[in-house]
Chain A
Amino acid sequence: MRPITKNGLKRRQKLDHAKESFWRRYVFSVDHKMIGKQYLITGLLMTLVGGFLAFSFRHQLAWPGESVPLIGPIGPDQYNAFVTMHGTIMVFWVAMPILLSGFGNFLLPLMVGAPDMAFPRLNGMSYWVFFLSTVVLIASFFVPGGAASGGWTSYPPLSAEPGYTGVFWGGHLWILAVALEFTSMLMGGINFLTTTISMRAKGMSFFRLPIFVWMINIASLLFLFSVGPLIAGALMLLADRLLGTGFYLPASGGDPLLFQHLFWFFGHPEVYVLLLPSLGILAEIFPVFSRKPLFGYKAIIYSTIVAGILSFLVWAHHQFISGIDPRLAAPFSVTTILISVPFAIMLFAFIATLWRGSIQFSTGMLFALGMIAEFMVGGVTGIFNGSSAADIYLHDTYFVVAHFHFTLFPVTFLGAFAGIYYWFPKMVGRFLNETWGKVHFWVTTLSFNVVFLPMFVMGLAGHQRRIFDPTLFDYLQKHQYLHVIATIGMMVMFAGQIPFVINFVVSLFRGRRADRNPWSAATLEWVAPSPPGHGNFDTELRVVRGPYEYSLPGQQKDWLGQTE
């Protein structure tokens, strides 16, 4: 552990923004806060791309064959490409950069009491590699043959042999973009871990770290351990496409299922790479707005570690009916369903935090509460898919689509919005407008249910995924009205983001000014100025207590900061 010395503090403050050029400050920055904001903004902009793709194919599903505004009617090839790219973008270019890199970069050094990341230049490079990956991905829409269309899971042989989809360059670029994105996230993960281990302020022991820091570190570890096999898998896929090898092609002695194992060995931990930072955001917001310590701090940490380990032992639940040995179903079904136990403990701990609290419904808190209430739907419906017998029927139907959107949407968007409304004062020194924030919350959350609840029904009715025109199947026609409801719900949801965008832009310049600690929160980031300068803290830090000391008996004010 290396506490910040007085000299170190001075050295850092010399690097303050005033002396930096525009390029150094806003573009090729090495300041973790600016890099965090860059990730956040890039992720939010990519949401527009991913959202527009969703709008296009949902329009097609509700009114097949009709012209989609701005791009005209979409055919089956385009439909497949849009579905593929929507999934890819939302997972790798929205959820990961916003939750892990965006909030992680901005908050982690502030929360551990460090002046910056351990490797600021590596951090800057990580963003620019990510930016490059974004450019490659967007470019893949415009090459001959169009973007990749083999699904976001990119199962071979469909993805390994360009002849099967007619997509040549699009597929290569997809693999290249994903590889670059992973490289960037690896650099970020190394930084998170090193910073947490070696840059904590004096007195900041591991069990005084905010849960968010724990979550970012466990998520980084999960990513580091799981991504290797997928990179190997992706390289073999690229070799099959470019060099004529046959790793996944049976005609050349390969095996298509190999890729599925490698992909899902990564894929399930990846879900938690997205989920954990979001739960971390929740864990920071709940105590502040209920004025209570986080209930069961250590129980949450141990549960997370158990869930993280289990997440490496469940991957074949995506493959129950893929042709693997049917005897594998039982062990993977057991591990999958067991994973509900650590998450139940976390969930109960969050709810217990509210017990006998003094709950204030700020916009950040509303989004955090919305996330937990909606995520539960995704959690319990996972039990159906985790049961191998039930999965025979539900696999690859809209039930699965509804299930994972009920997990990933609350995690990604409600979690991110909670964090944005809560930390905006720290990021820019101004508040977002609370009234418009509440409008944003209610429209987003309610319309989200209108989009995805009907999909559970469609899935139960046997509606298979990824077909571009459900009206071609007689047995789906009586449920076509549900597609219309879902699509209209989505339009309302998108319209509901307009107040957010306006609020965000206006508040950047005109929002009410915030002081250092506008929410009376106890964690270290609120000790720094709003917004913090390049060296973060203008005082020397000496941490003497845990992060969630609210409503201690016998105190005048209802909280004690970590340094008090």
Chain B
Amino acid sequence: MLHWLPENISTYGHRIDGILQAIAWIVGVWFLLVEAVLFYFLIRYRRRPGVSATYQPGTKWRPLLWLLVPAILILGFDLGIDFMQGPVWTEIKQSLPQPDQTIRIKGRQFVWEFTHPGRDGRLDTADDILATNQLTVPINTKIQFELQSADVIHSLWIPNLRLKQDAVPGRTIPGWFEATKEGTFPVACAELCGSGHGVMKGEMRVLNAANYQKWLEEETKIGSR
């Protein structure tokens, strides 16, 4: 199943993939088992002349165990999934690590606006680098973002990072990621935001340290001109 997913390039993405894979196994086995029983019954107990049905209302405890035992097993698997996936959620969305860099991302009908800290590494200073629909980040760096919206609800969607977070007007929603591979990756909007929802697309460039420095220098030069 996982080969259908785009390549993972974040530090935590493989944990989401692992949950997807684990759930797929658990529900897949249950699904096939129950369907197999269903189809077996349909063939085995199809109407045949001379064979009549057995009276079994399932009101006593013994036959009811056929319902309750599987249900208790399912309850066990349910709790197992809960315990397995809870920490993954906590790592990604709840306990934000100390960031190496902070950026600001703002959704606006129908563009993404990325504010990068300039050479001083801080936001809201004169050397901030503003880019529309293009996010540039250094590789292997813990990036914290402040997600905002200028108008309606958007949803920041970077499939390769396994990152999705709604941007809600009136709020600043924090989040983080760390990219582990150089390259250019798609950025999209996952929440219906109006007629341009389908053209709200950007890209994320992940650069190695040297290239990132070079990009910073160039942008700063353009900025000061």
Binding site for B on A (CB under 8 A): 75-77, 79-80, 149-151, 155, 157-158, 164-166, 250-251, 254-257, 290-299, 321-323, 326-327, 329-330, 333-334, 337-338, 340-341, 344-345, 347-349, 351-352, 354-361, 369, 372-373, 376-377, 380-381, 383-384, 387-390, 392-397, 457, 460-462, 464-469, 472-475, 548, 550-553, 558
Cβ of A380: which chain B residues have Cβ within 8 Å of it?
27-28, 30-31
Cβ of A392: which chain B residues have Cβ within 8 Å of it?
16, 89, 92-93, 162-164
Cβ of A393: which chain B residues have Cβ within 8 Å of it?
5, 16, 20, 159, 162, 164
Nearest-neighbour CB distance to chain B for A74, whole angstroms, equals 12
The answer, among B41, B46, B159, B166, for a CB contact under 8 Å with A321, is B166
Cβ-defined contact, B1 with A345, below 8 A = no
Instruction: Report Cα–Cα, A467/B191, bound state, in Å.
Output: 9
Nearest-neighbour CB distance to chain A for B146, whole angstroms, equals 12
Cβ of A390: which chain B residues have Cβ within 8 Å of it?
16, 19-20, 23, 85
Interface assignment of B99: CB less than 8 Å from any CB of chain A:
no
Additional pairs, 15, CB under 8 Å, beyond known A338-B78, A388-B86, A464-B157: A75-B195, A76-B197, A155-B192, A334-B79, A348-B71, A356-B53, A357-B45, A358-B51, A369-B38, A384-B27, A390-B19, A393-B164, A469-B199, A475-B186, A551-B52
The answer, among A340, A355, A372, for a CB contact under 8 Å with B56, is A355
CB nearest to B38 among chain A residues? A351
The answer, among B45, B71, B79, B85, for a CB contact under 8 Å with A389, is B85
The answer, among A77, A298, A473, for a CB contact under 8 Å with B186, is A473
Cβ of A149: which chain B residues have Cβ within 8 Å of it?
195
Cβ-defined contact, A334 with B58, below 8 A = no
Cβ-defined contact, B54 with A551, below 8 A = yes
Instruction: Report Cα–Cα, A296/B57, bound state, in Å.
Output: 6
Interface contact tally, CB-CB below 8 A: 285
Instruction: Report Cα–Cα, A321/B153, bound state, in Å.
Output: 12
Give 15 A-B contacts (CB < 8 Å), ordered by A residue. A155-B153, A164-B151, A299-B58, A323-B165, A354-B45, A355-B41, A357-B41, A358-B47, A358-B51, A359-B45, A384-B27, A390-B20, A461-B6, A466-B198, A467-B198
Known: A157-B153, A299-B58, A358-B51. A352 touches B89 (CB 8 A): no
Known: A329-B93, A393-B162, A472-B198. A295 touches B57 (CB 8 A): yes
Cβ-defined contact, B53 with A551, below 8 A = yes
Cβ-defined contact, A345 with B58, below 8 A = no
Cβ of A352: which chain B residues have Cβ within 8 Å of it?
58, 63, 66-67
Cβ of A334: which chain B residues have Cβ within 8 Å of it?
79, 82
Residue-wise, chain B 132-163 has the 8 Å CB interface mask toward A (1 for contact) of 00000000000000000001110101010011
Cβ-defined contact, B38 with A354, below 8 A = yes
CB nearest to A166 among chain B residues? B195
Nearest-neighbour CB distance to chain A for B89, whole angstroms, equals 4
Cβ-defined contact, B74 with A387, below 8 A = no
Interface assignment of B171: CB less than 8 Å from any CB of chain A:
yes
Interface assignment of B222: CB less than 8 Å from any CB of chain A:
no
Cβ-defined contact, B86 with A333, below 8 A = yes
Cβ of A348: which chain B residues have Cβ within 8 Å of it?
34, 66-67, 70-71
Residue from B52, B58, B109, B199 having most chain A Cβ neighbours under 10 A: B58
Interface assignment of B201: CB less than 8 Å from any CB of chain A:
yes
Known: A348-B71, A558-B53. A468 touches B198 (CB 8 A): yes
Nearest-neighbour CB distance to chain B for A321, whole angstroms, equals 5
- Enumerate the 9 nearest inter-chain pairs by beta-carbon distance, A residue then B residue, closest first: A250-B170, A462-B159, A467-B198, A295-B58, A389-B88, A380-B27, A293-B57, A396-B190, A296-B58
Nearest-neighbour CB distance to chain A for B9, whole angstroms, equals 13
Cβ-defined contact, A293 with B199, below 8 A = no
Cβ-defined contact, A340 with B78, below 8 A = yes
Interface assignment of B131: CB less than 8 Å from any CB of chain A:
no
Interface assignment of B42: CB less than 8 Å from any CB of chain A:
yes
Cβ-defined contact, B45 with A290, below 8 A = yes
Cβ-defined contact, B15 with A297, below 8 A = no
Cβ of A464: which chain B residues have Cβ within 8 Å of it?
157, 188-190
Nearest-neighbour CB distance to chain A for B112, whole angstroms, equals 14
Interface assignment of B194: CB less than 8 Å from any CB of chain A:
yes
Cβ-defined contact, A387 with B56, below 8 A = no
Cβ-defined contact, B81 with A337, below 8 A = yes
The answer, among A291, A387, A394, A466, for a CB contact under 8 Å with B52, is A291
CB nearest to B94 among chain A residues? A326
Cβ-defined contact, A341 with B75, below 8 A = yes
Residue-wise, chain B 12-54 has the 8 Å CB interface mask toward A (1 for contact) of 0001100110011011101100110110011001111001111
CB nearest to A83 among chain B residues? B192
Cβ of A75: which chain B residues have Cβ within 8 Å of it?
195
Cβ-defined contact, B155 with A321, below 8 A = yes
Cβ-defined contact, A552 with B55, below 8 A = yes
Cβ-defined contact, B58 with A462, below 8 A = no
CB contacts under 8 Å to A, within B103-149, are 109
Instruction: Report Cα–Cα, A359/B164, bound state, in Å.
Output: 48
The answer, among A257, A347, A462, A467, for a CB contact under 8 Å with B168, is A257
Cβ of B171: which chain A residues have Cβ within 8 Å of it?
250, 323
CB nearest to A469 among chain B residues? B198
Cβ-defined contact, B67 with A296, below 8 A = yes
CB nearest to A546 among chain B residues? B57
Interface assignment of B64: CB less than 8 Å from any CB of chain A:
yes
Cβ of B42: which chain A residues have Cβ within 8 Å of it?
354, 359, 369
Cβ-defined contact, A344 with B70, below 8 A = yes
Cβ of B88: which chain A residues have Cβ within 8 Å of it?
389
Known: A296-B67, A373-B38. A256 touches B23 (CB 8 A): no
Instruction: Report Cα–Cα, A235/B37, bound state, in Å.
Output: 49
Cβ of B159: which chain A residues have Cβ within 8 Å of it?
393, 461-462, 475
